[in-house]
Amino acid sequence: MQKRTLGTSDIQITPIVMGTWQAGKRMWVGIEDADSIAAIRAAYEAGITTIDTAEVYGEGHSERIVAEALADVRDSVVYATKVFANHLKYDLVIEACDRSLQNLKTDYIDLYQIHWPSGSWKSEVVPIAETMSAMNKLKQDGKIRAIGVSNFSRSQLEEAAQYGRIDSIQPPYSLFWRQAEQEIVPYCVANHISILAYSSLAQGLLTGKFGRGHQFAKGDHRVDNKLFQAENYERAQTALERLRPIADRHHTTLGNLALAWLIAQPQPQPITNAIAGARHAEQSRQNAQATEVQLSAADLQEIDAIGKTVTDYLDNNPMLWNF
């Protein structure tokens, strides 16, 4: 799998990134550790060597599962993890990083990201200068190699960048969720910042596996996802019907068509990389095949137009869920 440079760093990442929120188990149902380990390992063996996790995913459980799956090949993979909004004071950032290093069984983290802006989730408001000071210290000490942010607005990204080099941002971004294109994408293009798109398959919606009238199990957070609600969900189903012939034409799945479109954004110089989770090994192997789908300019334009039949009806609130 051809790799890309993360921002202006010397880190090489894969355009498909293994997402491991589900490996933390919290807010998911039916997750087994053995399946998560197999899925992460299968992703690595299929060429996906960049792994994204976070301290808050199961209070470190996801990080520990990543280590169990990949500790023996640590030098061949890129670890990206995140510090949560309640740990953004200087000392707490340092402590959180040390915990993540221990969970991941490593002495360095390739990409360390601020998961949510200060004040999110009723957290204490901490000046970004203080948080970035801690991030810069970690980088100086060799505990982390690059700094990223997640769920930041353009203005928040610009402010953070005043205090240190930001090499990536992680927004919700998919064919069915495109608010990032308004302000985040142009800023990132101009400033050589990589985009790591999360919910790149719209939490499974873009795979086509959830039909009309689907009911999620109790405890599954996707019931709060705006795309799975009312008119949005119906419009998505109609769009998927229009996307199927394009996927068939390319001998690929709906999910891989959506991933292939996303990692081609923006044209003509793509900087978007897609985080895709997987519950099982076969899903990981399938996600990796998205890089083999070659879309023409006409294909990209046609897919783009179909996606907008869903996104044109959404508001500008970048929050994907009604939590």
- Whether 213 shows a pLDDT value over 80: the answer reads no
How many other CB atoms are found less than 10 A from the CB of residue 264? 19
- Residues 254-273 have pLDDT tens digits of 999 999 999 999 999 999 99
Residue 73, CA atoms < 13 Å, CB-side half-sphere: 17
Q: Fold for domain 4-203+251-294?
A: TIM Barrel (3.20.20)
- Whether 291 shows a pLDDT value over 80: the answer reads yes
By C-alpha distance, which of 232, 274, 283 is closest to 253? 283
According to the model, what pLDDT value does residue 97 have? 98
Domain ranges of the chain: 4-203+251-294
- Would you say 18 and 278 are in contact if contact means Cβ atoms under 8 Å apart? yes
168: confidence class by pLDDT, cuts 50, 70, 90: very high
- Whether 211 shows a pLDDT value over 90: the answer reads no
- Whether 221 shows a pLDDT value over 80: the answer reads no
According to the model, what pLDDT value does residue 212 have? 81
Dihedral of alpha carbons 305, 6, 149, 47, sign = positive
* Residue 156 DSSP class: H
Q: What mean pLDDT is predicted for residues 33-57?
A: 98
Q: What mean pLDDT is predicted for residues 310-321?
A: 89
The angle subtended at Cα 112 by Cα 110 and Cα 114, nearest 5°, is: 165
- Whether 296 shows a pLDDT value over 90: the answer reads yes
Residues identified as active-site: 57
Top-confidence residue, 63 or 319: 63
Amino acid at 88: L
* Residue 251 DSSP class: T
Residue 196 main-chain phi, psi, to 5 deg: -110, 100
Q: What mean pLDDT is predicted for residues 62-66?
A: 98
- Residues 80-103 have pLDDT tens digits of 999 999 999 999 999 999 999 999
According to the model, what pLDDT value does residue 317 have? 85
According to the model, what pLDDT value does residue 229 have? 87
Cα(first)–Cα(last) distance of the chain, in Å? 37
- Whether 104 shows a pLDDT value over 90: the answer reads yes
According to the model, what pLDDT value does residue 94 have? 98
Look up residue 108 and give its two tokens.
């360095």
Using the structure block, give the residue that is written with the tokens 């990080």: 63
Q: Which of 78-92, 186-200, 218-232, 293-307 has the lowest mean pLDDT?
A: 218-232
